[in-house]
């Protein structure tokens, strides 16, 4: 044995020894055992009348597949218009494509693959954009064209295409043919049994629902579903929240693709652990920046977890820090509480009002909250400001060259950018409270 080398190595390691640390990405968000997605086709009025309040009650998000020509119809024939679709989006649901024209009994025309997506992206602003396509009549108009435009394409029951009805932990064999079980009078009403199967198999089950029995379903009148049955399913999922992750189809698809592509590494120096979570699958469809759940070993019993300097919601359990983080969004640091970067304080949160400006969160319609007024205040040496604009953007003023990060109320990072102009729009999305970190300061804004 070469003792000289050993001594040198020990000396180099010294007091600030750095070593690799256990880190794991959860198969499903929150280390749950299965994923469940609820998808709704065609965009009938009953989506807003029935599904919206039902999902709101449980706090779950679903996927609504919209036929753009029908939404263009301005609410005719019992179908939603764009403001109805906007309501679903504002509640945090995924808005996805179900073609432009929904041809009857024929495959979807290939030229509607990208044009329907374009219309949805133009009408509805979503954090992840339009990433899911559900085919009318359950048949793909061309796998490769679909996959050039969408994260996932959905058929109906997987088994009739030689796949499986309940998908595995890595999703469908073909991402242009994700399965969904038809619910209602011509489909299944056994939500619980299918969710249980998914839990047993550690997989993913999706449901496909048209309208609801006795409600305004417009063209979505095939196989109406009993609303009480679905309500019971959501209640069951909530009771089994430790096992069942309910999320929109496109988000689950992003999660799987990111999980499979991501590298995670962790190294510890003293009691501080630095975690890197990266992948290189970013393409013209998506940045694949849906948060993944991580579990990283730590010796700390109380810790603060930050990513790119912004605080994440985390718990310490059994020697591990468990938290959601966004791939490619900067280093994640697990450190003793108080050791992290400066967090928000009331004086910073209310900075605009204490510096004599109007609090635009409380008074969004006040004249000073409009772009011109803020710009002139900036000339009067008004330093940093974060507020909501009249068109519902989070706007940051006076942050040139600074890092800007927007987090939602779950602590998920939804936007990261660098300050450019004197007044800059940085984010718009679902209604809710957001934390905006500008440099070392944190502001709270309500959209």
**Closest separation in Å from C-beta 35 to Zn ion:** 23
Query: Which of 157, 344 has the CB closer to Zn ion?
Result: 157
The neighbour count for residue 159, using CB atoms within 10 Å, is 12
27-32's contacts with Cβ under 8 Å and 24+ in sequence apart are: 27/169, 27/202, 27/259, 28/169, 28/245, 28/255, 28/293, 29/245, 29/247, 29/255, 29/291, 29/292, 29/293, 29/324, 30/245, 30/293, 31/293, 31/295, 31/322, 32/241, 32/242, 32/243, 32/244, 32/245
Residue selected from 42, 47, 289, 324 as contacting Zn ion according to rule CB under 5 A: 42
131-139, 341-349, 404-412, 421-429 -> range binding Zn ion (CB under 5 A): 131-139
Query: Which of 190, 221 has the CB closer to Zn ion?
Result: 221
Farthest CA pair distance, the chain: 84
Number of residues that bind Zn ion (CB under 5 A): 3
**Closest separation in Å from C-beta 85 to Zn ion:** 15
Residue number with the smallest Cβ distance to Zn ion: 41
Query: Which of 136, 211 has the CB closer to Zn ion?
Result: 136
**Closest separation in Å from C-beta 67 to Zn ion:** 7
The Cα-based distances of 353 to 263, 443, 447 in angstroms read 44, 12, 18
Residue selected from 27, 41, 116, 294 as contacting Zn ion according to rule CB under 5 A: 41
Q: Is 136 among the residues that bind Zn ion (CB under 5 A)?
A: yes
49-57, 128-136, 261-269, 435-443 -> range binding Zn ion (CB under 5 A): 128-136
Query: Which of 225, 273 has the CB closer to Zn ion?
Result: 225
Strands, E assignment, 23-123: 23-25, 34-42, 63-66, 94-97
Q: Is 47 among the residues that bind Zn ion (CB under 5 A)?
A: no
Query: Which of 19, 160 has the CB closer to Zn ion?
Result: 160
121-129, 135-143, 285-293, 310-318 -> range binding Zn ion (CB under 5 A): 135-143
Planar angle of CA 398, 403, 406, nearest 5 degrees: 95
**Closest separation in Å from C-beta 79 to Zn ion:** 11
**Closest separation in Å from C-beta 120 to Zn ion:** 15
Q: Which of 217, 215, 239 is nearest to 227 (CA)?
A: 215
Helix (H, G, I), strand (E, B) or coil at 106: coil
Binding site for Zn ion (CB under 5 A): 41-42, 136
């Amino acid at each position: 044995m070469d003792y000289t080398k050993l001594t040198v190595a020990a000396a180099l390691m010294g007091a600030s020894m750095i070593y690799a640390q256990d880190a794991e990405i959860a198969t499903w968000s929150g280390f749950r055992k299965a994923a469940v997605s609820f998808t709704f086709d065609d965009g009938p009025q009953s989506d807003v009348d029935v599904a919206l309040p039902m999902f709101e009650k449980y706090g779950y998000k679903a996927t609504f597949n919209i036929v753009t020509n029908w939404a263009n119809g301005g609410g005719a024939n019992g179908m939603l218009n764009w403001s109805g679709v906007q309501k679903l989006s504002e509640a945090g649901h995924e808005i996805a494509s179900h073609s432009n024209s929904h041809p009857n009994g024929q495959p979807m025309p290939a030229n509607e693959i990208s044009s329907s997506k374009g219309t949805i992206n133009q009408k509805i602003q979503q954090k992840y954009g339009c990433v899911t396509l559900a085919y009318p009549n359950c048949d793909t108009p061309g796998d490769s064209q679909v996959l050039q435009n969408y994260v996932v394409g959905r058929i109906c029951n997987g088994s009739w295409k030689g796949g499986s009805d309940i998908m595995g932990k890595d999703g469908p064999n073909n991402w242009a043919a994700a399965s969904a079980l038809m619910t209602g009078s011509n489909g299944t009403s056994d939500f619980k049994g299918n969710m249980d199967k998914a839990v047993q198999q550690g997989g993913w089950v999706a449901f496909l629902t048209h309208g609801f029995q006795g409600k305004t379903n417009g063209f979505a009148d095939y196989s109406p579903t009993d609303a009480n049955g679905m309500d019971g399913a959501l209640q069951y999922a909530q009771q089994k929240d430790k096992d069942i992750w309910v999320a929109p189809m496109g988000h689950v698809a992003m999660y799987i693709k990111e999980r499979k592509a991501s590298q995670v590494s962790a190294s510890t120096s003293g009691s501080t652990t630095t975690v890197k979570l990266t992948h290189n699958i970013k393409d013209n469809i998506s940045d694949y920046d849906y948060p993944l759940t991580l579990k990283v070993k730590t010796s700390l019993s109380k810790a603060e977890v930050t990513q790119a300097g912004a605080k994440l919601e985390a718990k310490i359990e059994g020697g591990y820090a468990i938290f959601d983080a966004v791939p490619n969004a900067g280093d994640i640091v697990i450190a003793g509480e108080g050791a992290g970067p400066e967090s928000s304080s009331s004086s910073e949160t209310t900075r605009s009002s204490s510096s004599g400006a109007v609090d635009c969160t409380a008074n969004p319609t006040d004249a000073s909250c409009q772009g011109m007024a803020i710009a002139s205040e900036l000339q009067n040496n008004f330093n940093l400001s974060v507020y909501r604009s009249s068109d519902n953007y989070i706007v940051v003023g006076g942050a040139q060259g600074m890092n800007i990060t927007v987090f939602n109320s779950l602590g998920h990072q939804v936007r990261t950018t660098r300050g450019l102009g004197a007044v800059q729009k940085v984010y718009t999305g679902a209604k809710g409270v957001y934390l905006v970190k500008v440099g070392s300061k944190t502001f709270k804004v309500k959209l």
